[in-house]
Amino acid sequence: MQSSIGSTPKDAAAVILLRPGTNLTDPEVFLVRRSEKLAFLGGFHAFPGGQFDASDSEVLVENAADAETATAISCAARELFEETGVLLARGGDAMTHGQRASLLDDLQAGRMSWPGLLKHYELWLAAEDFTLVGRWVTPPFSARRFDTLFFLVKCPPKQHPQVAGDGELESGAWISAGDAFAQWQASQILAVPPVVHALKTLSAGLTNDLVKRFLSSPNAAREPIRRIEFRPNYICFPVRTPTKPPATHTNCYLIYTSKSLLVLDPGSPYEDEQLALAAAIDELLAAGRTLHGILLTHVHPDHVGGVAALQAHLGAARVFAHRFTAEALPTIQVDTTLNDEDMLALEGDPRILLWVMHTPGHARGHLCLYEERTGTLISGDNIVGLGSVLIDPPEGNMRDYFNSLERVRALPNLSVIFGGHGPAIATPYAKIDEYISHRLDRERKILQAVREGATTPKDIVAVVYTDVSPQAHAMAERAVLAHLEKLTDDGVVSQSSPGAYHAISAND
């Protein structure tokens, strides 16, 4: 039942490339950084890899366990070649760097297919060169999901991986697994769970039980990942909620230190999801932490739907929210109201100081949290990693929303945004700029439509939202109304009769 929720994962393969002659106690791997321009996990650190191509299955792989593994190995080898220039095929030992480069050019220009190229140059793939060290499935909080086989591979001695930097990958370099893991621990890089797991596993050395240690995580055998720690001490725990498509889940966050735990937005009304979250919280508390409380970013049901169940489970738990949120939720007892510039201190190691920002726009009592030490912003539904943010009056207010976006844009050292839906955002400033320019663009088009004679939100949607499906028109009308209210405030539009607007010309 649950596996059918969200999009079906696409098959993919990735390569953990080991440096030739590397140090056995702390081996070096080839770590790449994804381009900041990518919509999915842009700016994340990762390993070379990608989705299966239709022709990957046409490659014969010597000694492969089965057809599926053979296709995955073919995909892994092709992606590695395309992204780094390293060709992991047998029979090509005498090939020069220049010859490999010309092969790569043939492949990338489409003059030869991957199977065709291997065949033509009498090259072949051998399963022994690719050690399977796990198979991980992207959690269902993302519209893009992959079922990825990870292969550990030794780079051939005379080949040197290189990333061109003009495609999906921005850069790549050899780095010791221990150093890379330390960078993740120091909140300097972001990576998805299988990458963090690989770096941690490899940092303990190329031991005899290496593969066993790789496979010791149940998630390495496709068990769905519940806790996603893009950054230490911030667990993203997506829970299934009746939310707005394309999202199917709301991100609950478990922010912890050695002594304290803060739960943010336990939003699921479904018992199975509430139990899964409660189990994760119990585990963190059983390790000696005390519960600081439950914090609500805003009033919407997909963010507060599991509060009562969690309180019942824990016996008692303080609830924190803005006054406007508290007032709008009579069934939830809010113990502490939070205001702009309040500070929450989670004692322990590391001590986490969270600045509260009142950021209305999506909802009147919307809160964001900012940790200056690591540049972490918890953005609630003001900025999300998946789908778009609806500004629905009167709870939503476009002018407030712009102001809130400008306020978080002005924070000095943002390095990550954790939104209410979808994966973490590694490119905070670019993302906020994109939000602002998208809204300004919509606003210009709406004003233009009004100037050309459209008067009601319905008329305006018909002209401006041509890229939106008719089913989404009711929601688009709410967004248009929010823009019209702002334009009215700005003095460029006025309401001529209820629900009808006209433009104020310069000589009105």
- Of 118-126, 203-211, 300-308, 467-475, which part binds Zn ion (CB under 5 A)? 300-308
C-alpha distance across the termini of the chain, in Å: 60
State yes or no: residue 381 binds Zn ion (CB under 5 A): yes
* Apex 350 CA angle, 41 and 253, nearest 5: 45
For the CB of residue 366, give the shortest distance to Zn ion in the complex, in Å. 8
Binding mask of the shown chain, residues 260 to 299, with x at each position contacting Zn ion by CB under 5 A: ----------------------------------------
Comparing CB distances to Zn ion, the nearer of 198 and 389 is 389
Distance CA 180, CA 479 (A): 43
How far apart (Å, rounded) are the C-alpha atoms in residues 111 and 122? 17
Stretch that binds Zn ion, among 93-101, 178-186, 365-373, 381-389 (CB under 5 A): 381-389
- The one-character DSSP state at 230 is E
Q: Which of 135, 249, 300, 399 binds Zn ion (CB under 5 A)?
A: 300
Nearer to Zn ion, 56 or 381 (CB): 381
CB of 291 to Zn ion, least distance (A): 24
In terms of CB distance, is 242 or 499 closer to Zn ion? 242
Q: Which two tokens stand for residue 363?
A: 């909802």
**Closer residue to Zn ion, CB minimum distance, 301 or 453:** 301
Written as one letter, the residue type at 140 is P
As measured in angstroms, the least distance from the Cβ of 297 to Zn ion is 8
Least distance from Zn ion to the Cβ atom of residue 382, Å: 9
What is the rounded distance in angstroms from the CA atom of residue 130 to the CA atom of residue 151? 6
Nearest Cα residue to 450 out of 411, 410, 492, 408: 492
Please, which residue, 82 or 381, has the CB nearer to Zn ion? 381
How far apart, in whole angstroms, are the C-alpha atoms of residue 198 and residue 193?
Answer: 9
What minimum distance in Å lies between the beta carbon of 378 and Zn ion?
14
Measured from the CB atom, the residue of 159 and 382 that comes closer to Zn ion is: 382
Stretch that binds Zn ion, among 129-137, 282-290, 349-357, 379-387 (CB under 5 A): 379-387
* Beta carbon of residue 424, minimum distance to Zn ion (angstroms, whole number): 18
Are the C-beta atoms of 391 and 401 separated by less than 8 Å?
Answer: yes
- Closest to Zn ion by CB, 78 vs 358, is 358
Q: Report if residue 395 touches Zn ion, rule: CB under 5 A.
A: no
Nearer to Zn ion, 19 or 421 (CB): 421
Residue 404 CB, nearest distance to Zn ion (Å)? 13
Which three-class secondary structure string do you get for 9-22? CEEEEEEEEECCCC
CB of 374 to Zn ion, least distance (A): 25
Quick one: 19 or 300, whose CB is closer to Zn ion?
300
Instruction: Map residues 335-374 to x or -, x wherever contact with Zn ion holds by CB under 5 A.
Output: ----------------------------------------
As measured in angstroms, the least distance from the Cβ of 298 to Zn ion is 6
| CB closer to Zn ion out of 170 and 381 | 381
3-state secondary structure 392-442: CCCCCCHHHHHHHHHHHHCCCCCCEEEECCCCCECCHHHHHHHHHHHHHHH
Nearer of residues 300 and 483 to Zn ion, judged by Cβ: 300
Least CB distance from residue 492 to Zn ion, whole Å?
28
What span, in angstroms and rounded, lies between the C-alpha atoms of 159 and 398?
Answer: 55
H or E stretch at 99: helix 97-108
Q: What dihedral do alpha carbons 434, 438, 440, 442 form, nearest 10°?
A: 180
Q: How far is the CB of 389 from Zn ion (least distance, A)?
A: 8
Kindly state the number of chain residues that form the binding site for Zn ion, as judged by CB under 5 A.
2
Which residues have C-beta within 8 Å of that of residue 177, sequence separation ≥ 6? 26, 27, 28, 29, 198, 199, 200, 201, 202, 203
Tell me the window of 288-296, 352-360, 375-383, 460-468 that interacts with Zn ion (CB under 5 A): 375-383
Torsion sign across C-alpha atoms 83, 105, 52, 19: negative
Closest of 329, 415, 325 to residue 375, by C-alpha: 415
d(CA 12, CA 46) in angstroms, rounded, equals 14
Nearest approach, Cβ of residue 305 and Zn ion (Å): 12
What is the 8-class DSSP label of residue 342? -
Q: Cis peptide before 266, with omega less than 30 degrees from 0?
A: no
If the CB atoms of residues 167 and 242 are measured against Zn ion, the closer one turns out to be 242
Contact 17, 161 (CB under 8 A): yes
Q: Which residues bind Zn ion (CB under 5 A)?
A: 300, 381
